[in-house]
Copies of this chain bind each other. A is one copy, B any other.
Amino acid sequence: MTQKIGKLYAIGVGPGDSSLMTLKSVELLKTIDVIAIPEKNRGQKDSFAWSIVRGAVDEEQMLGQRSYLWFPMSKDHTITVPAWREGAATIAEHLKAGKDVAFITEGDPSVFSTWAYLQEELSEHFEALVVEIVPGVTSLTAVPAATQIPLCDGEERFCVVPATYGVSILSELIKEFDTILLLKCGRMVPELIKVLEPLGLLENATYVSYATDPRQRVFTDLREVPEEFCYFATVQLSVRGRKGVLRHGGQA
């Protein structure tokens, strides 16, 4: 007897505002056998992704079993890798029992998501696992929606760098890119000011935290950003300036 293996979905549930979930993600979550939910602290069920989902769908409308997976916030691989392996093993178990599983992740599964690690670990369990990745709205566009400054027009380039790795190469990046999104700026704002001021680019930077969430804050002057750590902090640097250079001299 061979048991049919379940299908796995990786679902992006958007940046924070529940109404930015996609129709597809909502429909899938209502009927799927198992909803795999990332939690920050083991056993605490503290899940930003799950809180986004519950903002759009009543708990009773979701028929599937809940399966919590722990993703510790750590840079220590002796802590994170075993947790990823455990999460993958849990999902593999559901799939091997013939159940379809939806792993939910804030934003989009392809952008700075724990999905990348899970996917890699799952390849140890299955030779050819069928996965469907359901893209979601990311903070990459939730941030410019808040600043109302586009990332790029038709002839422009933009890049996305974690601030912890990006500040040192900023003076190089501004030569090649029209917009630079600096993610994970929580503790990096003072250092950013030090780098941007001599480059004459302090006025071109906008800080956004918790884009689209009720906690959203926008500062057009980095010097006004309070000194507090915020995990969902991004700085959008519009090298070309805030506006007015889209038309490349084509206007009358």
CA distance A24 to B23 in the complex (A): 10
Interface residues of A in 144-175 (CB under 8 A from B): 144-146, 148-162, 165-166, 169, 172-173
* A20: contacting residue among B23, B77, B80, B152, CB under 8 A: B23
Cβ-defined contact, B141 with A81, below 8 A: no
Contact flag A113-B158 (CB < 8 Å), given A135-B212, A173-B176: no
* A112: contacting residue among B133, B153, B166, B177, CB under 8 A: B153
Which residue of the partner chain B has the closest CB to A142? B135
* A19: contacting residue among B27, B165, B176, CB under 8 A: B27
Cβ-defined contact, A140 with B140, below 8 A: yes
Contact flag A56-B23 (CB < 8 Å), given A144-B110, A159-B157, A165-B155: yes
* Copies in the assembly, this chain: 2
Tell yes or no: A246 within 8 A of B by CB. yes
Tell yes or no: A248 within 8 A of B by CB. yes
Chain B residues contacting A204 (CB-CB under 8 Å) are none
Give me 14 other A-B pairs in contact (C-beta within 8 A), A21-B22, A23-B23 excluded.
A12-B141, A19-B24, A22-B23, A77-B247, A77-B249, A77-B250, A81-B252, A120-B246, A135-B212, A138-B141, A152-B160, A157-B162, A159-B177, A173-B176
Residues of A within 8 A of B (CB): 12, 14-15, 17-24, 26-27, 56, 77-78, 80-81, 108-113, 115-117, 119-120, 123, 131, 133-138, 140-142, 144-146, 148-162, 165-166, 169, 172-173, 176-177, 212, 243-244, 246-252
